[in-house]
Structure 1
Amino acid sequence: MRSQSSSVQQARQGLADRLREIRLGAGLTGARLAALAGWHRTKISKIEYVVISPSADDIRAWCNHCGQPELIPDLVATLNAVEGMFVEWRRLERTGLRVVQDSMTPLWERTRTFRIYSSFVVPGPVQTRSYTVAVLRALAARRRIPDDIEAATRVREERQRFLHEGDHRFAIVLEESVLRNAIGGVETMTGQLGHLLAVSSLPSISLGIVPQNADRSATWPIESFWMYDEKQVGVELVSGYLTITQPTEISMYAGMFAEQTAVAVYGAAARSLISEALAAFDNTMR
């Protein structure tokens, strides 16, 4: 499955345009380059019109036959970057969950303002240990990946230090339904909601809840996403992880976050919604 994100498409088109420039600069027709490389005659046009993506070997052959082998390292690096914008979970998590969690730490370190919208689960920075274990256990089972849940959980817990150190700021907006999704069972949810009440008072956190009865005429629940300053957006899709870096598309997500913020409640009103959800879970335990 290929993402239709404009960031990904724009990056692929940029690589294809560069390859076309190299071919034209070498004075080769598409048919001639295909013949030199031993490819089907339509392969050149499919690459240049982004019907298919070139492989690293394709780029090497392309540059060698066009007399510019010195361009190979940069173009292969570009290809790797483009392919990394959308990565399937089975590729990311082939050795388990811990490696993926570790890979996010440098991004957290250099980010100052996190904007997080979640329509499904309580996000990692404000999760309890038992809630994290429940989430990761479900992911591991669904995606049939190696069980390194304890190691991955430790990485997530360690990353929560950013709530308390440096000048990191977390603006979090949750749908009210997130408070009532019984992830990990009733006991886990009571602990999680109590924790959410506690951390909502931290100076590094701004917590908004979109009430279930809010007027959603102008905006509605969408896929969860994370914004890292104004530099990139991360979206967890069913099939993989999407990284968005195209400025106009980042602006779209910033606008969407602002819309969700506008219908969310904060402070005492948000704590009241959390307390109501907590009371509902408490009642089921009696």
Structure 2
Amino acid sequence: MNKEGMRLTSSVPWQESLSTGTEAVQDEVIRWYQETPEGKGYVPTMIWGTLQTEAYATVILGQVVDFLGVPNDVPAGVAKRMRRQQVLYDGEHHYAVVLGEQALYTNIGGPEVMREQLDRILRDIDLPSLTLGIIPATARVNMLPVHAFNMHGEQVHVELVSSGVDITDPGELALYRKAFDRLSEAALYGDKAKELLRKALAFWTDSSSG
């Protein structure tokens, strides 16, 4: 990579950015969302943060705190994550999001948490602010397996195990847009996406009664 490209990609270790807890990072995410009226996200194995329920987000941020050993301010971080979801209802934003079907089955918090989470997605999937696609587990995708990423304006944010990476290099941004288009082409939308959600909801309902 050339020197210009190096300057346009920044990486910050999580233990640095979360040194005071999870709330400060959530404040930064709120700022991104408020400043960019349109965004895109690809999340193959978990639920996109801006659609997470309070219970689901509590488990996720609790795992972050436990794994990284950062200050435990999970309730404050969750409150801010819930606050950022206001962009789905203000009539000023739009987000195109693609989930992998696996995201509906990754066990975050157990059957009750998962049922509540899937109910929430079914409730919000028709919001004007949201275009939600789900890639079936057996779908043929014209794209090599790839990590999760979010695009806001002229920036891509990638979350690694050890750090968060922000990419603004134009050439790299073009590749992420191309990747998102290919992933979107493999996704199901509307009633077909709802069928996948209801199938997963039935699974978690059966799991809790078994």
| TM beyond 0.5 | yes
Question: Structure 1 regions of 5+ residues with no counterpart?
Answer: 1-5, 15-81
1:216-227 to structure 2, matched below 5 A, reads 216=141, 218-227=142-151
| Structure 1 counterpart of 2:79, from 121, 131, 154 | 154
Alignment: residue pair count: 209
Note the C-alpha offset of 1:11.
4.8
Q: What is the RMSD computed on CA atoms of the aligned residues?
A: 1.5
Residues 1:93 and 2:32 aligned together: no
Aligned sequence identity (%): 33
- How has the CA–CA distance of structure 1 residues 220 and 273 changed in structure 2, closer, same or farther, with 3 Å as cutoff? farther
Instruction: Name the residue aligned to 1:236.
Output: 159
Q: Secondary structure at the match of 2:50?
A: helix
Tell me what 1:10 maps to: 4
Contact 1:119–1:221, Cα closer than 8 Å, also in 2: no
1:250 matched to 2:169? The reply is no
- Report how far residue 108 of structure 1 moved: 1.1
> Displacement, 1:166?
3.9
Q: Equivalent residue for 1:273?
A: 196
Whether the 8 Å CA contact 1:119–1:223 is kept in 2: the answer is yes
Q: Does 1:127 align with 2:52?
A: yes
Tell me the distance in 1 between the aligned counterparts of 2:139 and 2:98.
Answer: 14
Structure (1 or 2) with the greater strand fraction: 2
Partners of 2:30 and 2:130 lie apart in 1 by 19
Within the candidate set 30, 42, 48, 1:105 is matched to: 30
Structure exhibiting the larger radius of gyration computed from Cα positions: 1
Runs of 4+ in 1 over 2 A off after TM superposition: 9-12
More helix by share: 1
Kept after mapping to 2: 8 A contact 1:118/1:175: yes
Offset, 1:240: 0.2
Corresponding residue for 2:100? Answer: 175
Deviations 1:95-142 (A, max 9, x none): 111111112222111111110000121011111100000110111111
Structure 2 residue matching 1:160: 3-state secondary structure:
helix
How far the C-alpha of 1:10 sits from its partner, in A, is 2.6
- Any gaps of 5 or more consecutive residues in structure 2? none
Letter in 2 for 1:164: Y
The whole-number CA distance in structure 2 between the counterparts of 1:196 and 1:221 is 24
